[in-house]
Amino acid sequence: DPNDPGEPGEDPNDPGEPGEDPNDPGNPGEDPSDPSNPGEDPNDPGQPGEDPNQPEQPGDGDNGNGDQQSILQTHNNYRARHGASPLTWDNTLAQFGDNWIQRCQMQHSGGKYGENLAAGYKDFKTGIDAWYNEHTQYNYNGGGFSGATGHFTQVVWKGSKRVGCAKKFCPGSNWTIYICNYDPPGNVSGQFQENVSPPK
- 40 has pLDDT over 80: no
- Which one, of 46, 40, 43, lies nearest residue 59 by Cα? 46
- In this structure, is residue 53 part of a structural domain? no
Q: Provide the edge-to-edge strand list for the sheet that holds 162-170.
A: 88-89, 162-170, 175-183, 114-119
Give the C-alpha separation, 54 to 69, whole Å: 16
* pLDDT band at residue 28 under the 50/70/90 scheme: very low
- What are the tens digits of pLDDT across the range 60-81? 344 556 799 999 999 999 999 9
- Asked if residue 8 is part of any domain, the answer here is no
To the nearest whole number, what is the mean pLDDT of the chain? 77
Percent of the chain with pLDDT over 90: 64
Domain annotation covers residue 155: yes
CATH number at residue 69: 3.40.33.10
Q: Measure the CA dihedral 147/153/159/164, to 10°.
A: 90
7: in domain: no
Q: Is residue 56 domain-resident?
A: no
- Cα–Cα distances (Å) from 188 to 85, 101, 133, 174, in that order, read 18, 24, 20, 34
Q: Which pTM does this prediction carry?
A: 0.69
Q: Is position 149 within any domain?
A: yes
Q: Count how many domains the chain has.
A: 1
The torsion of the CA quartet 120, 125, 127, 132, rounded to 10 degrees, works out to -160
In a domain, 1, yes or no: no
Residues 115, 151: Cα–Cα separation, whole Å: 8
Amino acid 60: pLDDT: 39
Domain assignment present for residue 112? The answer is yes
Query: Among 41-45, 140-144, 171-175, which is the least confidently predicted range?
Result: 41-45
Residue 190 has pLDDT above 80, yes or no: yes
Residue 73's nearest CA partner among 59, 58, 88, 92 is 88
pLDDT tens by residue, 122-164: 999 999 999 999 999 999 998 899 999 999 999 999 999 999 9
Q: Residue 106 sits in which domain range?
A: 64-195
